[in-house]
């Protein structure tokens, strides 16, 4: 592996880890607040799936960095400006409809991305994808069922779900952007060229929204910046809570 490819793969693994840990933490915020017990347990399980995926990406990033850092350093010792997650993942949990719509968008994305990452020439990234594919099938089935239930439910649930779709749609465009780092890795057969997945994602999500009697928004606005460290204020507040124990007691073990 050349130095340029190694550095780019480190950045790529960190980005994927950031996406997973941030979304995993957001999902975990629903634990003990679910609408009923079974759903409360389901939220915890989905959150753990994403946190587990983040650990694998961060462990690989630490291996590539080879500078003494561990997975904990990547998760807990970086500021919001050093995080490279997609903005969609850091949006606050909102109400139940908001979280389920965000989850549908993310699950549809991973349903397309992970099978492509499975084909990566990087054996570690491919192995992480292989584990995540099975989880994502369940995640998508669950978020799809909830969006259908809420969108085609009561007048109130429909209104809240449509509001969530409209509020989050502009954050989805960033998911399919390619910069020089990812393009170089895609050309080398290591990363996924997500720009090629936009149409399939749009159809998958649109089909669910239409079945749920919801309106698919126009592409009238878009917000970007997560991959370059420009985030909403929501990430800073989330990291303050997520990192407080580790930063207060650095090096502590139990």
Per DSSP, the residues of 130-142 read HHHHHHHHHHHHH
CB 61 within 8 A of CB 35: no
The mean pLDDT of 84-108, rounded to a whole number, is 97
3-248, superfamily in CATH?
Answer: Ferritin, core subunit, four-helix bundle (1.20.1260.10)
Per-residue pLDDT, 91: 97
Per-residue pLDDT, 218: 94
Per-residue pLDDT at 37 exceeds 90: no
Per-residue pLDDT at 15 exceeds 90: yes
Helix (H/G/I), strand (E/B), else coil: 240 = helix
CB 118 within 8 A of CB 129: yes
Per-residue pLDDT at 253 exceeds 80: no
The mean pLDDT of 230-246, rounded to a whole number, is 95
Question: What's the rounded Cα separation, in Å, for the pair 133 and 138?
Answer: 9
Q: Where are the domains of the chain?
A: 3-248
State how far the alpha carbon of 48 is from the alpha carbons of 23, 37, 146, 156, in Å: 10, 17, 20, 31
CB 27 within 8 A of CB 98: no
Per-residue pLDDT, 215: 98
CB 22 within 8 A of CB 69: no
pTM listed for this prediction: 0.95
Per-residue pLDDT at 47 exceeds 90: yes
CB 231 within 8 A of CB 156: no
Per-residue pLDDT, 210: 98
Q: Which residue has the tokens 């580790």?
A: 246
**Length of the chain, in residues:** 254
Per-residue pLDDT at 32 exceeds 80: yes
Question: What's the rounded Cα separation, in Å, for the pair 45 and 56?
Answer: 17
The mean pLDDT of 200-219, rounded to a whole number, is 97
Per-residue pLDDT, 51: 97
The mean pLDDT of 1-7, rounded to a whole number, is 92
Question: What's the rounded Cα separation, in Å, for the pair 102 and 94?
Answer: 10
Binning pLDDT at 50, 70 and 90, where does residue 34 land?
confident
């Amino acid at each position: 592996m050349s130095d340029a490819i190694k550095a780019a793969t480190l950045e790529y693994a960190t980005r994927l880890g950031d996406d997973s840990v941030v979304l995993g933490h957001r999902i975990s915020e629903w634990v003990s607040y679910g609408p009923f017990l079974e759903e409360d347990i389901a939220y915890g399980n989905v959150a753990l799936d994403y946190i587990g995926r983040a650990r694998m990406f961060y462990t690989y990033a630490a291996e590539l960095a080879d500078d003494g850092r561990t997975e904990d350093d990547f998760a807990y010792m970086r500021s919001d400006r050093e995080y490279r997650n997609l903005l969609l993942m850091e949006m606050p949990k909102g109400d139940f409809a908001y979280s389920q719509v965000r989850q549908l968008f993310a699950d549809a994305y991973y349903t397309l991305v992970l099978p492509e990452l499975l084909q990566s020439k990087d054996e570690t990234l491919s192995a992480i994808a292989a584990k995540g594919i099975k989880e994502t099938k369940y995640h998508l089935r669950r978020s799809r069922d909830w969006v259908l239930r809420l969108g085609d439910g009561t007048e109130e649930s429909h209104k809240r779900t449509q509001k969530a779709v409209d509020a989050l749609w502009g954050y989805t465009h960033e998911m399919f952007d390619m910069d020089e780092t990812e393009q170089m890795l895609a050309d080398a057969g290591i990363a996924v060229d997500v720009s090629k997945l936009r149409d399939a994602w749009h159809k998958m999500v649109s089909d669910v929204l239409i079945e749920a009697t919801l309106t698919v928004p126009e592409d009238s606005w878009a917000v970007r910046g997560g991959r370059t460290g420009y985030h909403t204020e929501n990430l800073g507040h989330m990291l303050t809570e997520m990192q407080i124990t580790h930063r207060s007691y650095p090096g502590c073990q139990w």
